[in-house]
Amino acid sequence: MAKAANRTYSLYTREAVELLAVMIREARLERKLPAKELAERAGISRGLLQRIEKGDPNCSLGTVFEVAYLLGISLFNSDERALASNLAMSKEKLSLLPKMARKPQRGVDDDF
Amino acid sequence: MAKAANRTYSLYTREAVELLAVMIREARLERKLPAKELAERAGISRGLLQRIEKGDPNCSLGTVFEVAYLLGISLFNSDERALASNLAMSKEKLSLLPKMARKPQRGVDDDF
DNA sequence: CTATTGTGGTCTATAAATGGATCATTTAGA
DNA sequence: TCTAAATGATCCATTTATAGACCACAATAG
């Protein structure tokens, strides 16, 4: 009972995925690093790296981020230290929020 | 002949994935949006949204980005227009790069 | 306090992603 | 130019992700 992935994505999502893909390919080529080598270092197959660089949205988040990391591409405009710091702050903030999202019984927040 | 996903990720990757997860959960709770509703709007199951908010790296890039988008979380610190612009510039730059990464036969670039 | 709703976990069947191999083609370097 | 190497594409076998249902529990609103 799974009929997934006829998914439709927003333009924003498609562009974000493609941007990341292009940045990865750029960085790899700038470093003159063959796909085969990068794939090995990332622990993935060359085929998967191809899909990533092609902007396939159906690749796992972790592998794509890892490849980006190996190429020195900074996610969220954060280097390693800033990222850890952001994460700590976000966790802190999250802990202060109500743990459930219960909607008030009639329409306060439906601004989508 | 596929034995994938005993994957190991760098700390940076793990933190980046978790940061995105926490930001998503934060944004959803701030909006008082039940998981069920957000999942419906994203066209995914509630279980998958749970994994996303938990920081599971094995979720597809597209779905995670789409959920983030639905919550107004900006990827790459770029709104919709900036993103399109970045993408165009990156494509331009990519087109100027050599199309293959051929390593010079002896060690110029192995600074990893 | 209580009723109600959201959430986290588990289970199963199915769809999809991935690895690994192969082949043809393109490209960069000598 | 020559040629070794990189890329792009396809195939198949297997692993994995996902949907969808269910349950027990937690937490919020009243």
Q: pLDDT confidence of A42, banded at 50, 70, 90?
A: very high
In this complex, which of A26, A91, A97 lies closest to B93 when CB atoms are compared? A26
The whole-number pLDDT of residue B3 equals: 65
State mean pLDDT over A46-55: 98
The sign one gets for the Cα dihedral A26, A32, A34, A40 is negative
State mean pLDDT over B36-60: 98
Mean predicted lDDT score pLDDT of chain B: 91
State mean pLDDT over A25-30: 98
* Residue A106: pLDDT over 90: no
Closest CA to A101 of B30, B5, B3: B30
* Residue A79: pLDDT over 50: yes
* Positions 51-90 in A, CB within 7 angstroms of strand C: 51, 56, 58-60, 63
Which residues of chain B lie closer than 8 angstroms to A101, CB-CB? 28-29, 31-35
- DSSP annotation of B60 reads B
